[in-house]
Amino acid sequence: MALAFDEYGRPFIILKEQEQKTRLSGLEAQKANISAGRAVSRILRTSLGPKGMDKMLQSPDGDVTITNDGATILEQMDVDNQIAKLMVELSRSQDYEIGDGTTGVVVMAGALLEQAERLLERGIHPIRIAEGYEMASRIAVEHLERIAQKFDFGPTNIEPLVQTCMTTLSSKIVNRCKRALAEISVKAVLSVADLERKDVNLDLIKVEGKVGGKLEDTELIYGITVDKDMSHPQMPKQIEDAKIAILTCPFEPPKPKTKHKVDIDTVEKFQTLRQQEQKYFDDMVQKCKDVGATLVICQWGFDDEANHLLMHQNLPAVRWVGGVELELIAIATGGRIVPRFQELTPEKLGRAGLVREKSFGTTKDKMLYIEHCANSRAVTIFIRGGNKMMIEETKRSIHDALCVARNLIRNNFIVYGGGAAEISCSIAVEAAADKYPGVEQYAIRAFADALDAVPVALAENSGLQPIETLSAVKSQQIKENNPHFGIDCNDVGTNDMCEQNVFETLIGKQQQILLATQVVKMILKIDDVISPSDY
Amino acid sequence: MAIEKILKDDASEEKGERARMASFVGAIAITDLVKTTLGPKGMDKILQSTGRGHEVTVTNDGATILKSLHIDNPAAKVLIDISKVQDDEVGDGTTSVVVLAGELLREAEKLVAAKIHPMTIISGYRMAAECARNALLQRVVDNKENAEKFKSDLMKIAMTTLSSKILSQDKEHFAQLAVDAVMRLKGSTNLEAIQIIKKPGGSLKDSFLDEGFILDKKIGLGQPKRIENAKILVANTAMDTDKVKIYGARVRVDSMSKVAEIEGAEKEKMREKVKKILGHGINCFVNRQLIYNFPEELFADAGILAIEHADFDGIERLALVTGGEIASTFDNPESVKLGHCKLIEEIMIGEDKLIHFSGVEMGQACTIVLRGASHHVLDEAERSLHDALCVLSQTVNDTRVLLGGGWPEMVMAKEVDELARKTPGKKSHAIEAFSRALVAIPTIIADNAGLDSADLVAKLRAEHHKEGCNAGIDVISGSVGDMAELGISEAFKVKQAVLLSATEAAEMILRVDEIITCAPRKREDRM
């Protein structure tokens, strides 16, 4: 019970110890938090690396997700513990910022927590541990910059990019055709990238999936696909050199926003109103025809009459196209989104070399392909696969690969994967530890040990002897002073990651270390957990 | 200190061996469930729905069985999903794909028990699947050039597909129906154009393919029951009161006489519309929406056949067969394409009157009328026919054909076995296991037929050791027979899809080492 005394010495209760509340404080709280954090990282640990396993997650509604992606696992895990939620956040922020390495960051944080627990047992104050970690992370990040290598690539030489994407994809279920997918991802990113500004807008890459076929059928479409068909079944299914009118107004009589009534009290009014109505439809369709459009894409629905008029005028049309897709179409075809028929002008039309409808399988699934657009800067990756879960997992994997490619365009420094970078950092941090006087030295050393956790997990998952392998690689790195040695997960026969072509991005790795350290610091600083028990 | 609970209360977590065990058990249970339906002598299942009326379905179709199951096991859900995809993509082989995936997992379970890492099994399976696919590719027959032969291929495939279904008694009849229907599509895979009408009564043999088009509607009263050289206008327009579509319009009057006036105007408007429609020079008018009595009377007066409320698919199909366009405005009669057909008449099937359009211009669509003793029989017949149609339409596009009756499995198994012998390392165990899983399919077919599977499969294996052998299981005579002579064929596309998606699913389930089940969402049962 937390008691305080006022100036007259009378006790008053600040926090009432109740049945309904549970409270942990001091060392006990820290240990509880640490064990929660470690429990989360233990779940993800087996997913790390090319031989990592997948997790099967069943959602509250019974849907099944099978994935290897750390961020997805944690997001769908339905976590209840507060500290565990922090770890989920950690993985998510790595996902937002970098897109890849979401498992690694959690494993790293778990290892840091584990080391911290030992230090706590030895009586070191949590704040000192946190400070030591902070220093160590700075050393590690600086060291990463030193060992990073510049990676040269150009629009014609995409090989290095493909190799890096392949490293990312090799840990996923899609590794069967990682080469093809990596090429698709890189080509997609390059076609939307702004190499001058070193920026990539991933929104321009649409990832669509449809079950059926096989993974090898996945393709990159220089254009847009829309999961819609023509509004009238008898409209042409293929249009060449299409001029596209992109509309956000329905082919329906206008609906003024202000409240109003049109009263009909005479026969004349009834008739004029009717003529008016017909004129509306005629005008709308005529306007589209006048500006020279050969395809109308509309966000809203069509009235039956308008639909037939369009058909009659030989003007194919697509209705109910979503806002995001509409924007992408506008970007791809260089057209403008037109909110009113009156504003339709020939300059505002988008252009595409070929628009075609394609049907799949035995059901009536149809998709509209808009290809050879005026501006090829919007692309679509169209994924095929044996089942729904496969498609979803492929989507996530492609997203990771796209992010990696984007990161490389932003910053073309790489470090070596397979745990090589971690081992190298660990050596550097260990060496630096001795220079620090004071208790922090222990924390820094602990940090170095924690860095070893990633290669150890990699080795464990690949069925190698973890300690033996790690020490062998470590001594090799020190002996030859070469940071390229890592864990040989695929049993290729060499430890040199340079030869194996296993790369990761520098910013991804740096971000992992920084984020993990930050979260661990935050967790260490908590010394009191008050939670209302279930009601 | 106890490990902190990090998941929510009702959520559960299974790890490592236990997780793997849970998924194996689930997947194998599903396999055992559908396994008995495989092959020409496979049995059917009765499914009772939990919904109102406890409807009963009797079926042999894997996808239908699995779709109606309520499964809680996540691995089993993966299998159900692949079966569904197989149904959507190629239409047939929905049972085979689940059985193969289940057998692959059953073999994998043994390997895992023998301490082989799942990743090693996966890489072995991948190599084996690739090798099996190549083996099939080498043995495919493609009769694309020879139309006559190709047609007989189609016929054989249809008969093989149908032989495992309820239609097997009249399989020749139905195979002919299916082949004729698909040939009319001319390479399109749009099965929408083939209409299946089910009418209880008669026997399955009385089912027939109609070249024309049958619309399940009645002809309006007092209108001609028979029209020759019909000109048809297919429309989608309101023929009740034509509403004013301008938003916010409403009628407000201050006297009764005004009401009458406006009503008159409305009638006048309708009369005008009908007149415009008549101006197209038609003698049959089909509308998707309702036709009220008043315009119907007008049509009857003009001696025109008016059909109301045809559903949307019906309209589309009708437009397709008659070559007309679906119209909604009627101001330019000269440019609206009208549909034509030689004869429209009312026919009776069983007790129902239907409208029959024959002698249509575009022969793409057709109607299959199924007759049978009960609704259950008809439903199952429709599903079977649908399977056959799907397979045929896919075969028209991908004309490669294989033999059936366990022949492809044996061919694959042989090649895979050879690969296993050549491969060094632990993978070879996995490859061997793959071939065992392939052999399991002919074994199950034989078992289901009540034959001595061990003996038959061993014989079959020996036969296949010879080059260019066509041996498979002849379920009818209960021995090993020449599949080419027996005319049992399957589409390459179906087999390939079975192989690839089963491997993919098995791979996916094998990779899992942890199952996290979230707390089921609480249903609020409040009043």
**Interface touch B89/A263, C-beta < 8 Å:** no
Interface test with B, best of A22, A43, A53 (most B CBs within 10 A): A53
**Interface touch A252/B521, C-beta < 8 Å:** no
Return the pLDDT at B100.
93
B137 to chain A, any CB pair closer than 8 A? The answer is: no
CA separation for the pair B500, B129 (Å, rounded): 7
Q: Coil, strand or helix: which one is B471?
A: strand
Extended beta strands in B181-302, E state? 194-200, 208-210, 213-215, 226-235, 249-251, 284-287
Q: What is the DSSP code string of B100-164?
A: HHHHHHHHHHHHHHTT--HHHHHHHHHHHHHHHHHHHHHH-EE-SS-HHHHHHHHHHHHHHHHHT
Could you read off the pLDDT tens digit of each residue along chain B, which spans 527 residues?
Answer: 344 566 776 777 888 788 888 888 888 888 888 888 887 888 888 888 777 777 888 888 888 888 888 788 888 888 888 888 888 878 788 888 999 999 999 999 999 888 888 888 998 999 999 999 999 898 888 887 788 888 888 888 888 888 877 777 778 888 888 888 888 777 666 666 777 888 888 888 888 887 777 777 777 667 777 888 888 888 877 776 666 666 667 777 777 887 788 788 878 888 888 888 888 878 888 887 777 778 788 888 887 888 876 666 677 777 777 777 777 777 777 777 777 888 888 887 777 778 888 777 666 667 888 888 888 888 888 888 888 888 888 888 888 888 888 888 989 999 999 999 998 888 899 999 999 999 998 899 888 888 888 888 898 888 888 877 888 888 888 888 888 888 888 888 889 888 988 998 888 888 888 888 887 776 655 44
B247 to chain A, any CB pair closer than 8 A? The answer is: yes
- When pLDDT is averaged across residues A143-166 and rounded to a whole number, the result is 84
Report, as residue numbers or ranges, the catalytic residues of B: 61, 94-95, 387
| Beta-ladder partners of B403 | B489
CA separation for the pair A396, A189 (Å, rounded): 16
B449 closest CA partner among B21, B132, B37: B37
Which of A79, A81, A233 lies nearest to residue B316, judging by beta carbons? A233
A242 closest CA partner among A167, A329, A169, A177: A329
The per-residue pLDDT for range A67-105, each reduced to its tens digit, is 888 888 888 887 878 888 888 889 999 988 888 888 889
Return the sign of the alpha-carbon dihedral for residues A257, A258, A264, A268.
negative
The pair of structure tokens assigned to B346 is 């009312």
CB atoms within 10 A of CB B42: 21
What is the widest separation between alpha-carbon atoms in chain A?
Answer: 101
**Interface touch A263/B252, C-beta < 8 Å:** yes
Tell me the pLDDT band of A18, cut-offs 50, 70 and 90. low
CA separation for the pair B312, B318 (Å, rounded): 10
What contacts B181, CB < 8 A, 6 or more positions away? B194, B209, B366, B368, B389
- Which residues in chain A touch residue B192, judged by CB atoms under 8 angstroms apart? 364
- The tokens 């924007």 sit on which residue? A327
Q: How far is CA A380 from the centre of its chain?
A: 16
User: What is the third-level CATH fold of B12-141+403-516?
Assistant: GROEL; domain 1 (1.10.560)
Indicate the average pLDDT of chain A: 84
B17 closest CA partner among B118, B123, B124: B118
B12-141+403-516 and B146-205+372-398: identical CATH topology: no
In one-letter notation, the amino acid at residue A145 is E
Catalytic, out of A67, A102, A225, A517: A102
The per-residue pLDDT for range B463-477, each reduced to its tens digit, is 888 877 888 888 888
Domains contained in chain A, CATH given: 24-150+415-529 (1.10.560.10), 152-222+376-411 (3.30.260.10), 228-250+280-373 (3.50.7.10)
CA separation for the pair A476, A485 (Å, rounded): 7
The per-residue pLDDT for range A299-311, each reduced to its tens digit, is 888 877 778 788 8
| Beta-ladder partners of A149 | A414
- Which residues in chain A touch residue B247, judged by CB atoms under 8 angstroms apart? 253-256
Give buried/exposed letters for A39-63 (b at 16+ CB in 10 A, else e).
bbbbbbbbbbbbbbbbbbbbbbeee
Return the pLDDT at B134.
92
**Interface touch A66/B508, C-beta < 8 Å:** yes
- H/E element holding B369? strand B366-372
CA separation for the pair A112, A446 (Å, rounded): 8
Closest Cα in chain B, distance from residue A446 (Å):
23
CA separation for the pair A278, A286 (Å, rounded): 12
Catalytic, out of A54, A69, A488, A496: A69
The pair of structure tokens assigned to B93 is 């082989």
**Is A100 annotated in the active site?**
no
The per-residue pLDDT for range A270-284, each reduced to its tens digit, is 778 778 877 888 888
Return the sign of the alpha-carbon dihedral for residues B512, B518, B520, B521.
negative
Checking DSSP bridges between strand A54-58 and strand B512-517, what pairing results, if any? parallel
CB atoms within 10 A of CB B422: 9
Number of inter-chain CB pairs under 8 A, A vs B = 245
Pair A22, B481: CB distance under 8 Å: no
- Which residues in chain A touch residue B318, judged by CB atoms under 8 angstroms apart? none
Q: What is the DSSP code string of B347-368?
A: EEETTEEEEEEEEES-TT-EEE
CA separation for the pair B418, B421 (Å, rounded): 5
CB atoms within 10 A of CB B465: 8
Higher pLDDT, B522 or A465: A465
What contacts A492, CB < 8 A, 6 or more positions away? A500
**Dihedral through CA A120, CA A124, CA A127, CA A131, nearest 10?**
-110
CA separation for the pair B336, B323 (Å, rounded): 11
Pair A379, A192: CB distance under 8 Å: yes
Q: How many residues does chain A have?
A: 535
What ipTM was estimated for this complex? 0.77
Tell me the pLDDT band of A15, cut-offs 50, 70 and 90. low
- Which residues in chain B touch residue A60, judged by CB atoms under 8 angstroms apart? 518-521
Q: Which of residues 3-32 of B touch A (CB under 8 A)?
A: 3-9, 11, 13, 19, 23
Give buried/exposed letters for B430-453 (b at 16+ CB in 10 A, else e).
bbbbbbbbbbbbbbbbbbbbebeb
Q: For residue A53, what is the DSSP state?
A: P
Return the pLDDT at B1.
36
**Interface touch A81/B74, C-beta < 8 Å:** no
- When pLDDT is averaged across residues A498-521 and rounded to a whole number, the result is 89
DSSP H helices, B233-334, are 256-278, 293-301, 312-322
Cβ-based burial of B50 (10 A; exposed 0-12, middle 13-18, buried ≥19): exposed
Where are chain B's structural domains? 12-141+403-516, 146-205+372-398, 213-362
**Interface touch A309/B78, C-beta < 8 Å:** no
CA separation for the pair B56, B71 (Å, rounded): 19
Q: Coil, strand or helix: which one is A83?
A: helix
User: What is the third-level CATH fold of B146-205+372-398?
Assistant: GROEL; domain 2 (3.30.260)
Q: Which chain B residue is nearest to residue A73, measuring alpha carbons?
A: B516
CATH architecture of B213-362: 3-Layer(bba) Sandwich (3.50)
Measured between alpha carbons, how far is residue B435 from residues A285, B82, B97, B195, B410 in Å? 63, 21, 15, 41, 9
Taking 90 as the threshold, does the pLDDT of residue A113 lie above it?
yes
The per-residue pLDDT for range A482-499, each reduced to its tens digit, is 888 888 877 777 888 888
In one-letter notation, the amino acid at residue B521 is R
Closest Cα in chain A, distance from residue B385 (Å):
13
CA separation for the pair B200, B221 (Å, rounded): 26
B1 to chain A, any CB pair closer than 8 A? The answer is: yes
CA separation for the pair B310, B329 (Å, rounded): 18
> Which of B332-340's residues contact partners 24+ apart within 8 Å by CB, and which partners?
B332/A312, B333/B276, B333/B279, B333/B280, B333/B281, B335/A312, B336/A312, B336/B233, B336/B280, B338/B231, B338/B232, B338/B233, B338/B280, B338/B281, B338/B282, B339/B231, B339/B232, B339/B233, B339/B234, B340/B229, B340/B230, B340/B231, B340/B232
Q: Which chain B residue is nearest to residue A251, measuring alpha carbons?
A: B245
CA separation for the pair A405, A403 (Å, rounded): 5
Pair A497, A418: CB distance under 8 Å: yes
**Dihedral through CA A151, CA A157, CA A160, CA A162, nearest 10?**
140
- When pLDDT is averaged across residues A151-178 and rounded to a whole number, the result is 82
The pair of structure tokens assigned to B246 is 């301008």
**Interface touch A387/B81, C-beta < 8 Å:** yes
- The tokens 């080795």 sit on which residue? A459
In one-letter notation, the amino acid at residue B91 is G
CA separation for the pair A405, A100 (Å, rounded): 10
Minimum mean pLDDT range among A48-57, A282-291, A439-448, B305-314: B305-314
Cβ-based burial of A355 (10 A; exposed 0-12, middle 13-18, buried ≥19): buried
